[in-house]
Chain A
């Protein structure tokens, strides 16, 4: 276990008091410390939204990009330097709305990334519009008569798209969430962790109280995370009872393992110019 102070950032978060983002920040730091990954050996790629400012609020390599595009940036960063631990932190709008296409392909490709989705079921930074995970009938400034869209179920989709690690955490159960992140980082491949997170300012439905009354840990049941069908069934459980924990995990070659170029070590550490022989052979193809 590394000293948590190592990850201490210089900036004070601009999140609302009571926002779930605080807990996620703490869980990320705890997990990296527990995994003994120092700040310079980890990269957090984030999107746009309240929660995507997370890398600014701790000490870690960060890339705070544009809305919806954290996954392709992280996928390539991992290909460039596969010895770096890469996490993606982005909200539900970022991961499931504007970046939804990238999610599907990350599931298929299995890059060795841990994707933490700050799922508060509402758009916070733009002040309270409905999001892809808002439930049908959810009232917001842009859905004054209630959202007419069915809420997006990320875990079902991820499983169907071939994700090798599918989990749900709850920011109100920090110890459990930290454990999930640790497992996700240790998992070789794409780990999606959807994190239930109240937005204390704009979501009056999915509150701490709402979740506290409903969540239960899958680890305390006889759920077998190697059973894909059972996992799929669990992803549809939402109501009086909401499962959190590891739904599914399988071992599968990672995206990086599919590239022979990476077998000699991280690409960033390799020389740039081809050898004279290599270049001559390339030219000869055009003769």
Chain B
């Protein structure tokens, strides 16, 4: 047989909800990372607890990965449906691992030159572990065996994952994984064209967007999370709940998202760094209180993990359809800041920045994530997330000593910058009322037109100041510098990964393309207009129907984005999809 392909593999686990697809996948991803490999993993599941089809896809490589691919080399099928659904994604020479009792049509596999690796997974689980429940563990062992990957890393993950269930369960699972590993390695490894080899590399973090936001928020001093569970940000709630006691945090699960944001406002008003996490539906409920935070100049952070709407939409899929909604939500006009991190690393620093910006400009800051970013896993160098790099700036917050010296404190003082020094309730010199009504400098309600005008201008001045803030990440150009590129792609948020890989593939193929990625979308960055004007041809790549970011660019800069590549079927953008749509656009262009 031909020489083996080393450390380049996309591996998919497919099965029903309740079969442990996600936990098995995450465990395998960790085992690969522990062996010094880079991974990118994304999951797709249905909004149900039992039944339906779920999958978890891990791409592994010896170099950093930005995205998943459309093709896979190995499928671990827990159901017949998994084979039916994913057979077309398998490359010739790829393989399917499944239990020997699974009923399959061998013909279609052979037709596609896909190898079938059948194992007695259930039997091994029962004989070695004492329960068929461990068939997943057997399947992972088989995957490691077929790829000849070092078992030790999978063993260490199994030990850690089953530790809470006691030593007996750990031992049973280890026996199962070893037996399946040996069975698969001896019988099939020689016949499979792909191999995974351990690399001598430092251990890397296996991080999702949700996980990164949690780490960043805590590093930045967030002490309060109020939220109602909603896919795809529920992981943030669970992480905070699990760590609240140890880290001295408050996590409050609320009766609804209205309570969640109002609680964040209450906590922030008293002086905490407070956050809530939700999706578009929950954010809809938060709209009124978002304006309250704007009017009372209360610094709060909201994580909005987008999923396809309208309404319940596709509850467990991905989309970028909430940009303009988040930008305009709530009545009236007030400053807000919207961050749209593209990767887990960016999500970590977005969380840190969000709290600094919220306190500096005394306004709500929204971290606009989505299902793809929130739940996809990626290996991250641990040194990229350093506590020393986390700088906490609370903005113009008066200390008790400063307040002692003040004679006439006015919470909403009209200042040149628009920022009024903030004092936390509890000091005798800082007794004031914050109100959602228009108010005077001291907080009393006013309907006086001149004062109203001045207060509006004061608040809105903060947005202009924020626009020039260096902590707001500038759009980043990837690929050849502007004058060399025939084509400039525009992206925001999670589109970063798939687009970055698409751009790399284009350049490897001899084309000159680059991408401009925005991880802060509001206030719209001043320098963006210059960068955009230099581009020869602009194509926006967005996970929505109408090209919301392209519209925002038109509105803010007057520039028309020529081409639009969108996706709104619930699935994430992939490099292959972007290139295919690009060819279609080129075709239209050539035809015209």
Contact = CB atoms under 8 A, between A and B. Distances in A.
Interface of A: 10-11, 38-41, 43, 45, 48, 53, 55-56, 59-66, 69, 71-77, 79-81, 84, 101-102, 104-105, 259-262, 264, 267-268, 270-274, 276, 278-279, 282-283, 286-287
B245 A272 contact: no
Interface string B74-107: 0000000000000000000000000000000000
20 contacts: A62-B434, A62-B435, A65-B289, A65-B292, A65-B436, A69-B289, A72-B226, A72-B266, A74-B266, A75-B252, A76-B266, A77-B270, A80-B266, A80-B269, A105-B259, A261-B249, A268-B424, A273-B220, A286-B206, A287-B204
Contact of A40 (B206, B428, B437): B428
Given A43-B425, A101-B255, A268-B270, A79 B434 contact: no
B162 interface: no
Interface of B: 30, 33-34, 203-207, 211, 215, 218-221, 223-224, 226, 243-250, 252, 254-256, 258-260, 262-267, 269-274, 288-289, 292, 296, 382, 385, 387, 390, 392, 424-428, 430-437, 443-445
Contact of A53 (B203, B204, B271, B445): B445
Which residue, of A262, A271, A282, has the highest number of chain B Cβ atoms within 10 A? A282
A11 B205 CA distance: 57
Residue among A76, A105, A270 facing the most chain B CB atoms (10 A cut-off)? A76
B432 A62 contact: yes
A48 to B, nearest CB: 8
A39 B311 CA distance: 45
Given A102-B259, A282-B243, A286-B206, A76 B385 contact: no
Q: Give the residue among A41, A56, A74, A272 with the most B Cβ atoms within 10 A.
A: A272
A274 B247 contact: yes
Given A63-B433, A75-B263, 8 more contacts: A11-B445, A53-B445, A56-B435, A73-B266, A79-B224, A80-B224, A104-B255, A272-B392
A72 B258 contact: yes
B224 A287 contact: no
Nearest to B245: A260
Contacts of B243: 282
A77 B254 contact: no
A259 B387 CA distance: 26
A279 B205 CA distance: 13
A128 B248 CA distance: 48
Nearest to A61: B425
A274 B223 CA distance: 10
Contact of B205 (A63, A74, A283): A283
A78 to B, nearest CB: 8
Contacts of A102: 255, 259
A60 B428 CA distance: 10
A84 B387 contact: no
Most chain-A CB neighbours within 10 Å: which of B254, B256, B258, B433?
Answer: B433
Contacts of A59: 431
A267 B252 CA distance: 14
B267 A80 contact: yes
A14 to B, nearest CB: 9
A148 to B, nearest CB: 27
A283 B215 CA distance: 8
A262 B270 CA distance: 14
A61 B266 CA distance: 13
Nearest to A272: B221
B205 A286 contact: yes
A56 B223 CA distance: 30
A84 B266 CA distance: 13
A59 B30 CA distance: 57
Contacts of B256: 101
A287 B387 contact: no
A267 B269 CA distance: 13
A243 B208 CA distance: 58
Contacts of B425: 40, 43, 61, 81, 84
Given A80-B271, A81-B270, A81-B426, A282 B245 contact: no
Contact of B444 (A10, A45, A69, A259): A10
A74 to B, nearest CB: 6
Contacts of A80: 224, 250, 266-267, 269-272, 274
A286 to B, nearest CB: 4
> Which has the most chain A C-beta neighbours within 10 Å: B220, B270, B273, B428?
B270
Q: Which residue, of B215, B219, B262, B424, has the highest number of chain A Cβ atoms within 10 A? A: B262
Given A62-B433, A287-B34, A276 B428 contact: no
A76 to B, nearest CB: 3
B489 to A, nearest CB: 30
Contacts of B436: 48, 64-66
A249 B385 CA distance: 51
Given A270-B248, A272-B273, A279 B432 contact: no
Contacts of A62: 432-435, 443
B219 A274 contact: yes
Given A81-B426, A261-B249, A282-B215, A64 B387 contact: no
A72 B224 contact: no
A40 B427 contact: yes
A271 to B, nearest CB: 8
A56 B444 contact: yes
B223 A76 contact: no
Nearest to A63: B434
A187 B265 CA distance: 25
A41 B263 CA distance: 20
Nearest to B435: A64
Contacts of B437: 64
B40 to A, nearest CB: 15
A261 B433 contact: no
Nearest to B33: A287
Contact of A77 (B207, B245, B267): B267
Nearest to A75: B263
Which 10 residue pairs of A and B lie closest in terms of their CB atoms, listed nearest first?
A: A272-B221, A62-B433, A76-B266, A76-B263, A73-B266, A80-B270, A64-B435, A72-B262, A72-B259, A268-B271
A80 B267 CA distance: 5
A259 B218 CA distance: 17
A84 B250 CA distance: 17
Contacts of A267: 223-224, 248, 250, 272
Nearest to B226: A76
Interface centre among A10, A59, A64 (most CB of B within 10 A): A64
B217 to A, nearest CB: 11
Nearest to A45: B266
Most buried by A among B215, B269, B427: B269
Contact of A273 (B30, B292, B387, B443): B387
A79 B445 contact: no
